[in-house]
Amino acid sequence: MARRSITTRPALQPKGWERRQGTREHLLEAAGQIFADKGFERSTAKEISKRAGVNTAAVNYYFGGIEALYAAVLEEARNRIFSDQAIENAIAGKTDPKAKLEAVFALVTRTLLGPLSSSWILRVLGRDLVTPTAASDAAKEKLILPRAQILKGFIADFLDLPEDHPSVARACISIMAPFCMLILSDRRRIKRALPSVGLGPDDALDMARHLAQFAIAGLEAVGRDAHKKASLRPQQNNR
C-alpha cells in the first residue's frame, strides 16, 4: 500500500494576527512619512491614522500613544539601515579588525546610497539628529548605546587600546562623521559643489572602499601615536 505523504503545516497564528500586523505596519509607514515631513512636535495621531486608513484610536491600541509610535518609527528606521542581525552577518567569520570595519562600511554605505536614500527613513533620522526630542530618549538608550558599544569594540580592537581610552572615543566620532553627513546633507548641493562625487547605488562599492581606506589609514596613525605616547610616559615619570 502506498504511503500517504506527510506535509508539515506551519504553526497557525492567532486569529486576526495578519490583520493586526498589517495595521501596525501601515501605521509605522504613515507615521514615518509624516514625522519626516513635519517632525514629531507638529504631527498628530489623527493625521497619522488618516494617512494609514485606520481609526484614530489605533495609535493608542497598537503603540500606546504617539510618543511610543515615534520611538517605534526611529527603531524601524535604524534597523532598516543597520540591524544587529545585519551587522552580525556582515562580520561573520571575520577575525581581523580591519576586515570587520571594511564589512560594516560596505553594509552601511550600500544602504545609505541605495533606494532607501529617497524614502522617509533618512529624513526622519536626520530630523531627530538635529532636533532630538524627549520622545526618542528611550529608543536611543535601547538602540544607539548598544551599537556605539559595538563600534567602540571594533575601534579598540583595531587600535589595541582599552575601550575607555580617549583615542578610541575620538576615533568613533571620526568613523561616524561621514555617515552622519550622508544622512543629513542635501545631496543635490553636494553634487553641485563636487560634481564628480558619486552618490547613487552604483557608486556604493567605490564609496565604501574609499571611506574604509581613509578611516583605516587614520586609525593606524592614531594607534601609532597613542602607543608612542604610552611608551614615553614611563621615561618621563622616572625623571
How does residue 73 score in pLDDT terms, banded at 50, 70 and 90?
Answer: very high
What is the per-residue pLDDT across 33-49, written as a single tens digit (0 to 9) for each?
999 999 999 999 999 99
State the pLDDT at residue 7: 39
Whole-angstrom distance, CA of residue 143 vs CA of residue 30: 22
Residue 134: its pLDDT value, please? 79
Give the relative orientation of helices 97-113 and 166-184 as an angle to the nearest 10 degrees: 20
CA Rg value for the chain: 23
Q: Convert the chain into a string of H (helix), E (strand) and C (coil).
A: CCCCCCCCCCCCCCCCHHHHHHHHHHHHHHHHHHHHHHCCCCCCHHHHHHHHCCCCCHHHHHHCCHHHHHHHHHHHHHHHHHCHHHHHHHHCCCCCHHHHHHHHHHHHHHHHHCHHHHCHHHHHHHHHHHCCCHHHHHHHHHHHHHHHHHHHHHHHHHHCCCCCCHHHHHHHHHHHHHHHHHHHCCHHHHHHHCCCCCCCHHHHHHHHHHHHHHHHHHHHHHHHHHHHHHHHHHHHHCC
Give CA–CA dist 28/47, Å, rounded.
13
Q: Does the pLDDT at position 1 exceed 50?
A: no
Q: Is the pLDDT of residue 16 over 70?
A: no
pLDDT of residue 159: 93
**CA-based nearest residue to 23, from 65, 57, 47:** 57
Give pLDDT tens digits for 100-158: 889 999 999 999 998 888 889 999 999 988 888 877 776 677 767 777 888 898 899 89
pLDDT at 14: 46
Tens digits of residue pLDDT in 164-212:
999 999 999 999 999 999 998 888 899 999 999 999 999 999 999 999 9
> For the ranges 7-11, 15-19, 74-78, which has the lowest average pLDDT?
7-11
pLDDT of residue 9: 39
214-225 average pLDDT score = 95
Handedness of CA 197, 202, 208, 213 (dihedral sign): negative
Report the pLDDT value the prediction gives residue 145, as an integer from 0 to 100: 78
Q: Contact, 124 vs 69, CB < 8 A?
A: no
CB of 48 within 8 A of CB of 13? no
More reliable by pLDDT, 95 or 134: 95
- pLDDT higher for 111 or 236? 111
Exposure of 17 in the CB half-sphere (CA atoms within 13 A): 5
What's the confidence (pLDDT) of residue 22?
82
pLDDT at 151: 86
Q: Judge whether 63 and 27 are in contact, CB under 8 Å.
A: yes
Domains of the chain: 19-75 (1.10.10.60), 77-231 (1.10.357.10)
Of residues 22 and 164, the one with the higher pLDDT is 164
